[in-house]
């Protein structure tokens, strides 16, 4: 069972009212999420959903040749496994831990039962799903029309929004896999951002030094995704 004083680790859990929380809390299990851990593969049946707290999970689509690209990132603002309550039961992509940390696991049947009450939890999960779909759509547009520099800025901003600090543990090779681009392109983009004093990169760690400067350098995609999340989930803005 998740202790009540820990529920604010995930914002969706934090906005549940007392009756909703009382039904869900006994079934929440704290779990450690390690870097690179595969939460599920395409086609897997969902037996659990996960509410990240200090971890970040990347949602990816994988091609037949093994190439992949990230379509969204999920952290403490959301949950992993929306297919469960959208009627799919199985997943169409892969979910991989991008930043190690903690999450809360919930049995699939518990979430489905809560969703089908057709109350506040259902409305919250549907609004979150719309925000996630917006991020997926914007990522597709960004990957097609914007430079690697802009994509990297968007990716860094979305990531640190979901972490308690401005530092990420992530190699350039992993970033390249997430963005679906060549590693050389990520290296060049990272060097530009470091030379501009926006980030510091060393031994697989990226620290954002100038968030405002990074936002100015990013394309509109980051702002679109953030605005939509704040519009759909206003209770989460101050958290």
> Do 44 and 118 fall into the same domain?
yes
Residue 237 lies in a domain: no
pLDDT tens track for 64-78: 887 788 889 999 999
pLDDT tens track for 98-128: 899 999 999 999 999 999 998 899 999 999 9
Predicted confidence (pLDDT) at residue 4 exceeds the cutoff of 90: no
Q: Which residues contact 114 (CB under 8 A, 6 or more apart)?
A: 20, 23, 24, 121, 122
pTM for the structure as a whole:
0.88
CB 47 within 8 A of CB 113: no
> Do 135 and 155 fall into the same domain?
no
> Do 33 and 131 fall into the same domain?
yes
Residue 230 lies in a domain: no
* pLDDT of amino acid 91: 85
Pull the structure tokens for residue 51. 């509410």
Residue 231 lies in a domain: no
Residue 234 lies in a domain: no
> Do 87 and 175 fall into the same domain?
no
pLDDT tens track for 43-69: 899 999 999 999 999 999 888 887 788
Q: What is the CATH number of the domain that holds 151?
A: 1.10.10.10
> Do 65 and 124 fall into the same domain?
yes
Q: What is the DSSP letter of 205?
A: E
Q: What is the CATH number of the domain that holds 35?
A: 2.60.120.10
Q: Of the segments 48-57, 152-161, 166-175, which one has the largest average pLDDT value?
A: 48-57
* pLDDT of amino acid 173: 76
> Do 118 and 154 fall into the same domain?
no
> Do 118 and 151 fall into the same domain?
no
CA distance 97 to 69: 14
Residue 136 lies in a domain: yes
* pLDDT of amino acid 89: 77
Q: Which of 125-129, 178-182, 201-205, 207-211 has the lowest mean pLDDT?
A: 178-182
> Do 112 and 161 fall into the same domain?
no
Task: Tell which wins on pLDDT, 52 or 163.
Answer: 52
Residue 233 lies in a domain: no
> Do 70 and 114 fall into the same domain?
yes
> Do 38 and 103 fall into the same domain?
yes
Residue 99 lies in a domain: yes
* pLDDT of amino acid 79: 95
> Do 104 and 161 fall into the same domain?
no
Q: Percent of the chain having pLDDT more than 90?
A: 55
* pLDDT of amino acid 6: 54
Closest CA to 96 of 10, 167, 38, 27: 38
Domain containing 20 equals: 4-141
Mean pLDDT, residues 159-168 taken together: 87
Total number of domains in the chain:
2
Rounded to the nearest integer, the mean pLDDT of the chain is: 87
Task: Tell which wins on pLDDT, 237 or 102.
Answer: 102
> Do 114 and 162 fall into the same domain?
no
């Amino acid at each position: 069972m998740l202790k009540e004083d820990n529920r604010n680790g995930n914002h969706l859990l934090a906005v549940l009212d007392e009756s909703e929380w009382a039904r869900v809390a006994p079934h929440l299990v704290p779990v450690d999420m390690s870097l690179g851990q595969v939460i599920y593969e395409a086609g897997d049946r969902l037996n659990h959903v996960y509410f990240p707290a200090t971890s970040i999970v990347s949602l990816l689509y994988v091609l037949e040749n093994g190439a992949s690209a990230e379509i969204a990132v999920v952290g403490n603002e959301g949950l992993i496994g929306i297919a469960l309550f959208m009627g799919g039961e199985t997943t169409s992509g892969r979910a991989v831990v991008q930043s190690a940390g903690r999450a809360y696991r919930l049995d699939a049947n518990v979430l489905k039962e809560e969703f089908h009450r057709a109350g506040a939890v259902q409305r919250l999960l549907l609004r979150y799903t719309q925000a996630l779909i917006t991020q997926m759509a914007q990522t597709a547009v960004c990957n097609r029309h914007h430079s690697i520099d802009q994509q990297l800025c968007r990716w860094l901003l979305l990531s640190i929004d979901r972490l308690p600090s401005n530092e990420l543990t992530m190699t350039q090779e992993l970033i390249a896999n997430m963005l679906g681009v060549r590693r050389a392109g990520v290296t060049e983009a990272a060097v530009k951002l470091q030379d501009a004093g926006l980030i510091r990169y060393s031994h697989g760690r990226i620290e954002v030094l100038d968030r405002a400067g990074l936002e100015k350098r990013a394309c509109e995609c980051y702002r679109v995704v953030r605005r939509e999340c704040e519009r759909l989930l206003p209770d989460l803005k101050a958290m």
